[in-house]
Structure 1
Amino acid sequence: MPEGDVLRRTADRLDLALTGQVVVRCDLRWPTAATVDLVGTSVLGTRSYGKHLLTRFDDGRTLHTHLRMDGYWRVHPTGSPQAAARSPQVRAVLATERWTAVGHHLGMLDVVRTRDEHTVIGHLGPDLLGETVDADEALRRWAARGSTPVAEVLLDQQVVAGIGTIFAAESLFAERIWPWAAADSVPDPSRLLAVARRQLQQSVTSGRPPGRVHGRLRQPCVRCGTPIAVGQARTPPMERPIFFCPHCQQPAAA
């Protein structure tokens, strides 16, 4: 599933193409929004919040989308073959005179009043890629998870929003924390969250996650040379792979 860095880059692309422009075509191929017409409105901007996208219009409405596992947005010149958006995988089309944004395989789509955005993202924890992060709120939500394995707490969007399997693994590796340690045993959760935030920010800029542990099964650890292993966070059907170094990230001694 795309993580917060991908959503931020997607929001930036949509923002660059659409903001300040009048919508000349709107096609929302979603049962609850199929009759919504945004033609004639001007786009105020798009921002990401965790793994969610919010595109706001000057009539007081917001298009909320979530990519889930396979979704993505692409921007094409209006009038080009790609902008025709004839694929059955297309779920949303927003066009201006110059650019057409096409949402493929979207996993969630709502149109809400901008003042009601809380109804679709209000359950989420602080966005780690926000201009500011409410650290006290994040730590309060962390503490409420008690002895839940730390990898699962990092993946919980109701604790902090934006971390997925990549940045859960990479931040834990950076801090040498065993992924299944109890969250309430982590000496400094604020430090771990700050590491994850910094990694996400760097990936937004570079387009590349750290790549030190995630996806490197059986390859040598970049620190100690031990073959990288993979375990499971959460239970089916919500299980997620977590890569780790068995030597650098050993369980704490009992």
Structure 2
Amino acid sequence: MPEGDTVWLAAERMRTALAGATLRRGEFRLPQLAALDLTGATVTEVVPRGKHLLLRLADGRTLRTHFRMDGSWHIYRPGTRWRGGPAHDVRIVLATDEWECVGYRLHDVEFVPTSEEDRLVGHLGPDILGPDWDLEEALRRLRGHPDEQVGVAILDQRNLAGIGNLYKVESLFLAGVHPWARVADVDERLAPLVERAQRLMRANLGHPEQSTTGDLRRGSDHWVYGRTGKPCRRCRTPILMGDQGPHLQERVTCWCPRCQAARSPVDPQARTGEPGRPRPVATPR
């Protein structure tokens, strides 16, 4: 799924194109909303909430969309060819006199009264990129699950909203925390870990590139993410990879077994980049 900074950037661009404007076209290509026409509606604002994008209208309604794995919004000048994918992937078209916002493969598309947005996003924890970010509340929620693997806990949007798999593995590496360690075993490092993730995400606001090393060049932009089997940039130990998370919700997780050695025994199914050859790795320290 996209990271919170990706949704933040999409909201910024959508806000620039739509906020304060009246729609001359508001079309939905979804069975449940096919009869809905937003032509004539005025957009007041577009805001991100974790990984959700909320488009608010002057008539007191909110449109919520979620990218999941493959969704995206593309913005064009009228008359410009749409290049976001085949026509059958278009889910929503919102157009003003100056811009056309085309939503491809969007998910969780729903309308609610703006006053009832909590029905859609009220379960989320503090937004790590939001104006009302609350570190202490996020830590309280994380500590409420002391036996959870920390790599799973910081991805749980109910604890804090916005962190995705990339910033998870990168912030864990920079904090020297093993992804499979229990929350209780890294309690004193939780705050620095979350603050690190926030700094990394904020450093990438305003552009689509997501570098955690400070280098935007492809292949030099990440510490461990996408580098399975390659030498750690710090210690030269091969980066490991394993699937982490609940059944059917596993996420690929990368880490350095030396820089992120666990303080208590852990046993992830790790691999070094050779498909079909998982092996258990225990790295107590």
Aligned residues of 1:32 and 1:110 also touching (Cα < 8 A): no
Matched, 1:240 2:242: no
Question: Aligned equivalents of 2:251 and 2:161: distance in 1?
Answer: 16
TM-score by length of structure 1 reads 0.95
Aligned residues of 2:165 and 2:251 also touching (Cα < 8 A): yes
- Cα deviation code 1:21-59 (max 9, x no counterpart): 110101112233222222112111211111100011111
SS in 2 for 1:188: helix
Amino acid at match of 1:227: P
Question: Aligned equivalents of 1:68 and 1:23: distance in 2?
Answer: 26
In the TM superposition, residue 91 of structure 1 has moved relative to its aligned partner by 0.8
Question: Aligned equivalents of 1:253 and 1:149: distance in 2?
Answer: 12
Matched, 1:250 2:250: no
In the TM superposition, residue 86 of structure 1 has moved relative to its aligned partner by 7.0
Structure 2 counterparts to residues 156-175 of structure 1, below 5 A: 156-175=156-175
- Counting aligned pairs with the same residue, the percent is 40
Structure 2 counterparts to residues 133-152 of structure 1, below 5 A: 133-152=133-152
Question: Aligned equivalents of 1:191 and 1:45: distance in 2?
Answer: 33
Aligned position for 2:34: 34
Aligned position for 1:69: 69
SS in 1 for 2:210: coil
In the TM superposition, residue 134 of structure 1 has moved relative to its aligned partner by 1.6
Aligned position for 1:51: 51
Amino acid at match of 2:14: L
TM-score by length of structure 2 reads 0.85
Matched, 1:208 2:210: yes
Question: Aligned equivalents of 1:86 and 1:162: distance in 2?
Answer: 29
Question: Aligned equivalents of 1:72 and 1:90: distance in 2?
Answer: 10
Question: Aligned equivalents of 2:151 and 2:118: distance in 1?
Answer: 26
- Cα deviation code 1:128-187 (max 9, x no counterpart): 001231222212211121210000001101101111110110110010001100011112
Aligned residues of 1:33 and 1:111 also touching (Cα < 8 A): no
SS in 1 for 2:204: helix
Question: Aligned equivalents of 1:30 and 1:185: distance in 2?
Answer: 46
Amino acid at match of 2:102: V
Aligned position for 1:195: 196
* 31-40 vs 210-219, greater mean Cα deviation: 31-40
- Cα deviation code 1:57-112 (max 9, x no counterpart): 111111100001000000011233329x9700011110001101001011210111
Question: Aligned equivalents of 2:247 and 2:117: distance in 1?
Answer: 30
Shift in CA distance, 31/137, structure 1 to aligned 2, threshold 3 Å: farther
Runs of 5+ unmatched residues, structure 2:
213-221, 266-285
In the TM superposition, residue 205 of structure 1 has moved relative to its aligned partner by 3.6
Aligned position for 1:5: 5
Aligned position for 1:221: 232
Aligned position for 2:122: 122
* 188-197 vs 144-153, greater mean Cα deviation: 188-197
Which structure has more RCO (C-alpha within 8 Å, separation ≥ 6)?
A: 1
Aligned residues of 1:126 and 1:133 also touching (Cα < 8 A): yes
Shift in CA distance, 118/75, structure 1 to aligned 2, threshold 3 Å: same
SS in 2 for 1:22: coil
Aligned residues of 1:90 and 1:102 also touching (Cα < 8 A): yes
